[in-house]
């Protein structure tokens, strides 16, 4: 079993249960079991401590139930659930298994003595969906991605920029086809909770309308599931900075400590550029941005650089070293930057191009794409 498959083997399912506890007699217990789901399996190398089923509520985890081993290291445990959701089997605080508990009984086998120990989970509809998706990507895309990466590295080593550019374009084209294929697979999953994992294969920002629709469908079925609620909240953040929306205000200190507002630049086309001194891809892209700025600054193009640095000295040195002569701001809070929070930035470089009214008209333009868009705007 390859490493990618192993990763998904840790994502499992178990049960939807509506339990009405009316008493502790054997008859009511039978009613519960008829409607409930059972976890069974074996821990190969039991350790000291507890095996705890934990409820995953977004980023928080809380104890939900405890599983006890029999003398032969096996277990069979009925779990009553209020609703489907994401859980985690915490084995002695050593091995953690992510579970999606929904409709199926599960059989779980785990070593229990290592964080990366053997795991096998059977019986899950959702995990099978994820395995099928993984197999589909392995067969149709992974080998080709690896081949293109090798071609790109070889071209770079031989300083053949033409071949490197061709490899880059081939990779980007492949990603477009890959995302389209993943979306088709997600459509087939319907309102399965496995969709939450599958969405990680696509760029939610670029596929905003698709993700928003999927989120709405999942919310209709699982309105109280914390991870679905989190997805809906993420969608709302993305909606606020989607193309066609007014750009949210950013008001942060410049190098001299004075507050600079993004809204003060209305009347110009502005690129809000999130970057950092420590971000290598950002520094590689900077010469391209400098070229675009020098070409179009006198035509009404401005850049509002938002740094995710923590050290003022390094931030200012990078500005000087890369000859970034536009407007810069930073609260020097790294990933906790207020600007990054407002714009839902989780990776850099990231950029938002605004029109003269402060409306977002494009996002994450890099390389030739930035020059092409500016040429379109300024009529060149």
Tens of pLDDT along the chain (380 residues) come to 444 333 333 333 332 222 222 333 333 334 344 457 899 999 999 999 999 999 998 778 999 999 999 999 999 999 988 788 889 999 999 999 999 998 899 999 999 999 999 999 999 899 899 989 999 999 999 999 999 999 989 988 998 888 988 988 899 899 999 999 999 999 999 999 999 999 999 999 889 999 999 999 999 999 989 899 999 999 999 999 999 999 999 999 999 999 999 999 999 999 999 999 999 999 999 999 999 999 999 999 999 999 999 999 999 999 999 999 999 999 999 999 999 999 999 899 999 999 999 999 999 999 889 999 999 999 86
- When the candidates are 3.90.660, 2.40.128, 1.10.10, 2.60.40, the CATH number that belongs to 10-121 is 2.60.40
Q: Cβ(292)–Cβ(374) under 8 Å?
A: yes
Report the pLDDT value the prediction gives residue 240, as an integer from 0 to 100: 93
Tokens of 71: 């003398």
CB-based contacts of 129, cutoff 8 Å, min separation 6: 189, 192, 194, 198
What distances in angstroms separate CA 94 from CA 51, 55, 114, one per listed residue? 10, 17, 6
Q: How many CA atoms lie within 13 A of 110 on its CB side?
A: 29
Q: Cβ(91)–Cβ(73) under 8 Å?
A: no
Burial pattern 163-176, b for ≥16 Cβ within 10 A else e, equals ebeebeebbeebee
In terms of CATH, what superfamily is 251-378?
Glutaredoxin (3.40.30.10)
CA-closest candidate to residue 34, choices 80, 67, 102, 84:
80
- Beta-strand ranges (E) seen in the chain are 11-13, 37-43, 51-57, 60-67, 74-79, 85-91, 95-101, 106-110, 119-122, 251-253, 259-261, 269-275, 301-307, 327-329, 350-354, 360-363
CA–CA gap between residue 338 and residue 349 (Å, rounded): 16
Pairing of strands 350-354, 269-275: antiparallel
- Delimit the domains of the chain by residue range: 10-121, 127-240, 251-378
**Its pTM surpasses 0.95:** no
CA–CA gap between residue 44 and residue 328 (Å, rounded): 57
293-300 own/partner pairs: CB under 8 Å, 24+ apart: 293/325, 293/326, 295/371, 295/374, 296/269, 296/374, 296/378, 297/326, 299/378, 300/267, 300/268, 300/269, 300/356, 300/378
CB-based contacts of 336, cutoff 8 Å, min separation 6: none
Name the 3-class secondary structure at 64: strand
Give the position of tokens 């690129």.
Answer: 271
Q: What are phi and psi of 379, to 5 degrees?
A: 70, 35
Using CA atoms of 6, 7, 9, 10 in order, give the dihedral in degrees to the nearest 10.
Answer: 130
Report the pLDDT value the prediction gives residue 156, as an integer from 0 to 100: 85
CA–CA gap between residue 201 and residue 183 (Å, rounded): 9
Which residue intervals of 204-309 are DSSP H helices?
208-221, 226-240, 280-296
pLDDT digit string, tens, across residues 49-99 = 999 999 998 778 999 999 999 999 999 999 988 788 889 999 999 999 999
Cis peptide, bond prior to residue 361, ω within 30 of zero? no
pLDDT digit string, tens, across residues 223-249 = 989 899 999 999 999 999 999 999 999
DSSP state of 246: B
CA–CA gap between residue 194 and residue 3 (Å, rounded): 19
């Amino acid at each position: 079993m390859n490493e990618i498959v192993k990763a998904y083997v840790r994502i499992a399912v178990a049960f939807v249960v509506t339990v009405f506890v009316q008493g502790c007699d054997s008859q009511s217990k039978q009613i519960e079991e008829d409607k409930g789901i059972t976890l069974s399996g074996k821990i190969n190398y039991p350790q000291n401590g507890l095996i705890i089923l934990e409820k995953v509520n977004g980023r928080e985890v809380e104890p939900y139930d405890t599983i006890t081993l029999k003398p032969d290291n096996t277990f069979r445990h009925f779990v009553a659930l209020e609703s489907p959701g994401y859980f985690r089997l915490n084995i002695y605080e050593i091995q953690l298994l992510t579970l999606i508990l929904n409709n199926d009984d599960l059989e779980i086998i785990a070593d229990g003595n290592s964080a990366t120990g053997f795991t096998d989970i059977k019986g899950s509809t959702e995990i099978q969906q994820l395995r099928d998706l993984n197999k589909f990507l392995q067969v149709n895309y992974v080998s080709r991605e690896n081949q293109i990466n090798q071609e790109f590295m070889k071209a770079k080593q031989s300083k053949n920029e033409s071949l490197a550019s061709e490899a880059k374009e081939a990779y980007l084209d492949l990603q477009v086809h890959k995302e389209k294929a993943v979306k088709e697979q997600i459509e087939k999953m319907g309102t399965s909770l496995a969709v939450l994992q599958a969405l990680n294969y696509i760029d939610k920002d670029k596929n905003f309308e698709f993700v928003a629709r999927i989120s709405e469908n999942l919310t209709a079925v699982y309105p109280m599931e914390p991870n679905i609620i989190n997805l809906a909240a993420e969608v709302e953040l993305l909606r606020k900075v989607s193309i066609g929306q007014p750009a949210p205000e950013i008001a942060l200190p410049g190098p001299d400590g004075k507050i600079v507002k993004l809204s003060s630049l209305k009347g110009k086309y502005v690129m809000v550029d999130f970057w950092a001194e420590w971000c290598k891809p950002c520094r590689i892209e900077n010469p391209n941005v400098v070229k675009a700025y020098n070409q179009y600054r006198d035509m009404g193009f401005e850049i509002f650089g938002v740094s995710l640095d923590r050290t003022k000295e390094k931030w200012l040195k990078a500005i000087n070293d890369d000859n970034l002569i536009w407007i810069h701001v930073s609260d020097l809070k790294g990933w906790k930057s207020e600007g990054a929070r407002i714009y839902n930035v989780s990776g850099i470089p990231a950029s938002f191009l605004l029109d003269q009214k402060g409306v977002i008209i494009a996002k994450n333009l890099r390389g030739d794409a930035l020059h092409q868009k500016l040429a379109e705007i300024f009529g060149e």
